[in-house]
């Protein structure tokens, strides 16, 4: 991790001095789930509002189109209680996630992702980024982060890199989280950071990730994903 931070600091030093630590980013998530002879695609929108002390990533409820040819929206895609709250300076979180019809609440340190640098650099939209990865069971997660936005957060639970995560690819490319819009002129208000965690089972983050990993691997073996 020390090497990762050192590389990012060197990389960011060559960037224009326009680092931002507050704003609003909207992410789009698309996940094509394949089960042997059939598949379905889940689509989500996430709003991330942040400053240098706090960040909240909330699910944006979709507008349901009931017209002819409308894309089917499944029930669990219409009413999620997921919320991701980060305190970057303290490196702690307060998250709630729906998983297998249950809500889990984590009030813990940053999720224990063991990121490794791949050495790749590039642009996500107009933002210079670096790529990192970690292995999660049978899956490999790839993240592109920008030291130009020097805050250790990202969409959903993805955190822990020396810069804002702007792109995620997982599940062999079937799952992607991309930026829809970035507004670094947005000034968060106190109301933006008001939240209430839903009721759920409290769990250590490491144990929750292990549970989720085991169930995901079971599904892949069962349905031949």
Q: What is the pLDDT of residues 27-57, one digit of tens each?
A: 999 998 776 667 788 899 999 999 999 999 9
What is the residue whose two structure tokens read 């982060």?
145
Tally Cβ neighbours within 10 Å of residue 193: 15
At 77 the pLDDT is: 54
At 75 the pLDDT is: 47
Total domain count for the chain? 1
At 61 the pLDDT is: 87
DSSP state at residue 15: S
pTM of the model: 0.85
Q: Which domain does 119 fall in, by range?
A: 2-223
At 13 the pLDDT is: 44
Within the chain, which residues score under 70 in pLDDT? 1-19, 35-37, 64-78, 220, 222-225
What does the alpha-carbon distance between residue 22 and residue 20 come to, in Å, rounded to a whole number?
6
Beta strands 23-35; 175-183: pairing state? antiparallel
- The CATH number of the domain where 197 resides is what? 2.50.20
At 12 the pLDDT is: 46
At 158 the pLDDT is: 97
At 182 the pLDDT is: 95
What's the Cα-to-Cα distance from 110 to each of 2, 59, 164, 186, rounded to whole Å?
16, 20, 14, 25
At 198 the pLDDT is: 94
Contact at 8 Å (CB) between 141 and 173? no
């Amino acid at each position: 991790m020390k090497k990762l931070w050192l590389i990012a600091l060197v990389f960011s030093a060559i960037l224009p001095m326009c680092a931002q630590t507050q704003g609003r980013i909207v992410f789009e998530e698309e996940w094509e789930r394949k089960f042997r002879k059939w598949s379905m695609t889940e689509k989500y929108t996430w709003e991330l509002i942040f400053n240098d002390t706090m960040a909240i990533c909330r699910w944006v409820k979709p507008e349901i189109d009931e017209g002819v040819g409308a894309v089917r929206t499944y029930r669990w895609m219409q009413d999620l209680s997921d919320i991701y709250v980060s305190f970057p300076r303290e490196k702690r979180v307060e998250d709630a996630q729906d998983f297998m019809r249950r809500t889990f609440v984590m009030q813990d340190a940053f999720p224990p992702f063991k990121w490794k640098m791949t050495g790749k650099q590039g642009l996500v939209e107009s933002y210079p980024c670096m790529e990192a990865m970690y292995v999660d069971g049978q899956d490999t997660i790839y993240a592109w982060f920008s030291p130009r936005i020097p805050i250790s957060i990202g969409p959903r639970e993805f955190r822990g890199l020396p810069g804002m995560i702007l792109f995620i690819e997982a599940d062999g490319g079937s799952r992607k989280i991309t930026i829809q819009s970035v507004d670094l002129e947005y000034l968060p208000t106190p109301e933006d950071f008001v939240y209430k965690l839903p009721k759920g089972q409290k769990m250590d983050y490491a144990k929750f990730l292990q549970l989720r990993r085991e169930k995901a691997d079971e599904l892949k073996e069962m349905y031949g994903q």
